[in-house]
Structure 1
Amino acid sequence: MGRLEDAKAIQKSDPAKAKAQYKSILSVRPEITDAALKEYEQALMALGELYRDGGQTGELAELVKETLSVLNAFAKSKTSKLVRQMIDLFTTIPNTLDIQINVTKSCIEWAIKERRAFLRQSLEARLVALYLEKNAYRDAIALIDTLLKELKRVDDKMMLVEVQLLESRAYHALRNIAKSRASLSSARTSANAVYCPPLTQAGLDMQSGMLHAEEKDFSTAYSYFIEAMEGYHSQEETKKAVDALKYMFLCKIMENHTDEVNQILQSKHAIQYAGRDLEAMKAIATAHSNRSLAEFEQALSNYKAELTSDRFIRSHSTDLYDNMLEHNLSRVIEPFSRVEISHVAKLVGLDTQQVETKLSRMILDKKLSGVLDQGEGCLIVFEEQGTDKSYDAALKTIKKLGDVVEVLYINQASLLD
């Protein structure tokens, strides 16, 4: 039995000894033979997996950097695959974003030095995704601009789709919806020219759904989220499939179709992915159905991690809460012409300062006709004035007179000719 087989045999029972044997194999530069390179590759990945399972991020990062000098012995395609596989080992280790960025940058520098253009582009696209995860959107866009120019020159459609999709996500995060939509349209155009893998197609559908939701077209967004969920489910991307399901729930809630949420919960995918994420959306749907701000705030408190960690859910949950608050305030103050703000706050079950701030915003947005008397702590509600139709009628009369004058002028001009 060889050294590699010995190490694999004791990997679970004695990981420390297995690590030592893997290191021994990796300490010798492999011969340029298929068997030697295969043994080196297997030892490298096995040692990397041991570091990953043990949460030894520093050792794993050092292993990747040390291995780069040996990768010249491998074919270019094999080198690219190995580098990506090694970096992928970090993805299941929590709180390693900064280390992933540093390791990826080191690999990019090595790829530039070795003139591995394709590998460099692939790693730069990965670095963009890491920047987005870190919320470093400006860094991401700066790298995207450079990368897109190069990809358009070499006409690499598949990589182009990936980078344009990342660009759309970056601009979406920066709330530049117009540029985000333009980038997504470019990505879809590029995708039509090549075979688009299921994961990439699911990503395009997910982004399309999010942008339609930003434009309040929740019906179309729901359709895209279904496609995205099916795509992620087929590729066993559990987390992204759950996200798509959450967004489907959100669309139904925003459309006031909370009764359909229970139907979705009975679907096979919802049953398979049951957990706190879907429970959180069900709690929001119940609170919205009951028009209860207290239940809504309780749901936000009970499921804080599930509802606030996702930027898309957080944004629309805030809109939903504001709409519910406006509706409840309008209903409470409807019978009054003058009412104490503290009394309104008591009726809706919120803090007086919070209610005062919201009422002032509603007045400024002209959703409420009234004024706040802060000295007395009261809201004075004005009677709604009927629309004066005489102004519109006068404008129509003036327009008709203008038309008559213009016709007379044309007739007079024709007579003079």
Structure 2
Amino acid sequence: MTAETEAMEVEPTPAAPTEEDPPTEEEDVSDLSDLLDEATALSNATAKIPLLSAILNEPQNRYGPAASAIKERAVYALARSYCSASRTTDIVTLLTGEACATFFSSITKAKCAKVVRAVLDIVCNASPEEYDMQAGICRNIIEWCRVEKRSFLRQRVEAKLASVLYHQDLYGEALTLVDALLSELKKLDDKQLLVETHLVESKIHHGLRNLPKAKAALTASRTNANAIYVTPYLQSQIDLMSGVLHTEERDYDTAHSYFLEAFEQLDQMDDRAKALPCLKYMMLCKILDGLNKALGISGKGVPGIKTDKSKVDISGMITGKQGVKYAGSAVDAMSAIAAAASTRSLKEYQGVIARYPTELNEDLLIKHHLGTLQEQLLESNLIRIIEPYSCVEIDHVARLMEMDVKLIERKLSQMILDGKFHGILDQGKGRLVVYEEEDVDRAMEGGLKVIENMDGVVTSLFGRSRALREMMI
């Protein structure tokens, strides 16, 4: 709706010349064209800047169709040159400073909005990690839009600023901005921007570990997306976020299908930088789902001692055409994790974490769930070791695990409290006493359920009788 609404604000098209009107002379912009070609031919970004600035500030102030097209290209080239020369201050003030002031005042609002958004995309793509600089240029544009009363452009840039603040981990400020923006967008019913803003809101709530609100925001984004055409890239981001939320709920099969959808769309666009994390998440889901099945982990999270290496085998995923295309250290790291999970070797797993710190620790989703995987491996190995014993020394368990005694003691006490097995730690003698599993009295459990249900029925009837008495009074 942003582009379409601003397109309605264009100036009226002049009428075609009649026989009485003299024909319009073709504008001469050969000097501007030569300057642009000269600047394009240069390889030094710093040397390009004076030539491109001369095009925008030329003394004749020509703004016909040809001159405007050349100056628009000069603005884009100037943004790229500033990024290449790392002139952060000039990048931030490029659109709101004197360089583009005359150009923006001479073109339509729709064309101005197009140029601003294009320059913002150029800067973000050229310096994807410079979030402080991106936030600065967004704030400058928003302030300029308020002065110029460009509401639709301001809303678009505020959505971008919210995304930048999310990447800066400024969740509180980003959420405040998103809430104010959503209240405006719902009145305008701008579905395209609603889809993007709700998606950013979902990411922010996920960063705050508020999964119910993250799911609600993602549902709102999907609902608005169903009513309009969504670009493949935006659809891939929605699928990626859906996969992340299902992974947090430990629904690994569903999460894998969403990651696969996102990966295929990004792969078709040949966006390897965005597609590679999707492939890593797919491998992570296969590893976690396979390990859960191999260990026989129940709904309570209690691991068993069964091992089936085939269930955590992801070789088929990484030997295909797409796997070979994205081969590298990231894929090797996930393959090594799968190998350690298949053998349930905690020592091998810790070695992989130490060998690939960048690939496994920089991504928060992978880091979080690999921590869960480590806990599962540790618990399953402990249960496998202590299962034959009714009483075992903690030092002996620590030697077999090749881990510190205090760490093993702390983990065993946690497992006892969590009900993973029945036992007690005799710290005076440094022993673990394991109790045999007691048979559950099913009759008693059934009786307790009957009493619980009867209590609910009596409470409900009491509430209804009190309501009837109040009505009669």
Fold similarity call, TM over 0.5: yes
Q: Report whether the alignment pairs 1:126 with 2:160.
A: yes
Q: Is 1:44–2:78 an aligned residue pair?
A: no
Pair 1:146–1:290, CA change in 2 (3 A): same
SS of the residue corresponding to residue 228 of structure 2 reads coil
> Tell me, what secondary structure is at the counterpart of 2:260?
helix
> Residue type matched to 1:371 in 2?
I
Contact kept, 8 Å, 1:57 with 1:96, in 2: the verdict is no
Cα deviation, 1:241-276, whole Å, max 9, x if unaligned, reads: 111111111111111165541111122222111111
Give yes or no for the alignment of 1:103 onto 2:137.
yes
Give 3-state SS (helix, strand or coil) of 2:421's partner. Answer: coil
Query: In 2, Cα distance between the equivalents of 1:144 and 1:400?
Result: 45
Aligned residues: 400
Partner of 1:264: 317
Contact 1:258 1:286 in 2 (8 A): no
Question: Per the alignment, in what secondary structure is the counterpart of residue 274 of structure 1?
Answer: coil
Asked if 1:330 is matched to 2:362, the reply is: no
Instruction: Provide the residue aligned with 2:341 in structure 1.
Output: 288
Match of 2:20 in 1: none
Q: In the superposition, relative to structure 1, how do residues 258 and 116 fare at CA in structure 2: closer, same or farther (>3 Å)? A: farther
Which residue identity is paired with 2:314? V
Question: TM-score, with normalisation over the residues of structure 2?
Answer: 0.79
1:271-282 to 2 correspondence within 5 Å?
271-282=324-335
Displacement of 1:78: 2.3
Find the counterpart in structure 2 of residue 364 from structure 1.
417
> Structure 1 residue 68: deviation in Å?
5.3
Contact 1:55–1:93 (CA under 8 A) maintained in structure 2? no
> Per the alignment, do residues 41 and 326 of structure 1 end up closer, same or farther by CA in structure 2, a change over 3 Å counting?
same
> Alpha-carbon deviation of 1:190?
0.7
Deviation at 1:38, TM superposition (A): 2.1
CA distance in 2 between counterparts of 1:248 and 1:326 reads 25
Q: Give the 3 Å change call, closer, same or farther, for CA 338–312 of structure 1 in structure 2.
A: same
Task: Within 5 Å, give how 1:294-305 maps onto structure 2.
Answer: 294-305=347-358
2:94 aligns to what SS in structure 1? helix
Aligned mate of 1:76, from 106, 109, 112: 109
Aligned pair partner of 1:211 in 227, 237, 245 = 245
Question: 2:90 and 2:142 mapped to 1: Cα distance?
Answer: 19
Question: 1:275-319, CA deviations, whole angstroms, 9 ceiling, x for partnerless residues?
Answer: 111111111111101111111111111111111111111111111
In structure 1, what is the Cα distance between the partners aligned to 2:407 and 2:454?
Answer: 53
Q: Given the superposition, is the C-alpha separation of residues 31 and 400 from structure 1 closer, same or farther in structure 2, using an over 3 Å criterion? A: closer
**How large is the Cα RMSD of the aligned pairs?**
2.4
1:354–1:31 Cα change, 3 Å? farther
Contact persistence 1:253–1:285 (CA under 8 A): yes
Counterpart for residue 412 of structure 1: none
Of stretches 187-196 and 31-40 in structure 1, the one that deviates more from structure 2 is 31-40
Runs of 4+ that moved beyond 6 A: 396-402
Report matched runs for 1:336-415 at 5 Å. 336-392=389-445, 394-395=447-448
CA distances 1:41-81 after superposition (whole Å, capped 9, x unpaired) = 22222222222223333332343442453423222222222
Could you say what secondary structure the match of 1:322 adopts?
helix
- Counterpart of 1:309 in structure 2 is 362
Gaps of 5+ in 1: 403-417
- The Cα offsets for residues 344-371 of structure 1, whole Å up to 9 and x where unpaired, read as 1221122222222222221121112122
Q: Equivalences for 1:28-177 in 2 at 5 Å?
A: 28=58, 30-66=61-97, 67=99, 69-70=101-102, 71-88=104-121, 89-93=123-127, 95-177=129-211
- The structure, 1 or 2, with the larger RCO (C-alpha pairs under 8 Å, 6+ apart) is 2
Contact 2:80 2:126 in 1 (8 A): no
CA distance in 1: counterparts of 2:450 and 2:426, whole angstroms:
42
1: CA distance, partners of 2:163 / 2:445: 55
2:295 corresponding residue in structure 1: none
**Residue 226 of structure 1: aligned partner:** 260
The Cα offsets for residues 115-136 of structure 1, whole Å up to 9 and x where unpaired, read as 1111111111111111111111
Q: Give me the whole-angstrom Cα distance separating, in 2, the residues matched to 1:375 and 1:237.
A: 60
CA drift at 1:228: 0.6
Write the distance in 1 (CA, Å) between the matches of 2:453 and 2:91.
Answer: 81
Whether 1:236 aligns to 2:266 is no
Is the partner of 1:63 in helix, strand or coil? coil
Q: Measure, in 2, the Cα distance between the counterparts of 1:183 and 1:335.
A: 50
The residue number in structure 2 matching 1:22 is: 52
Partner deviation per Cα, 1:145-203 (whole Å, 9 max, x = no partner): 11111111001111111111111111122221111111111111111111111111111
DSSP-derived class of the 1:372 partner: strand
The amino acid of 1:5's aligned partner reads: D
The 3-state SS of whatever aligns with 1:335 is coil
Greater shift, 26-35 or 272-281, is seen at: 26-35
Report the Cα distance in structure 1 between the residues aligned to 2:182 and 2:452, rounded to whole angstroms.
53
Choose from 226, 237, 252 the match for 1:192: 226
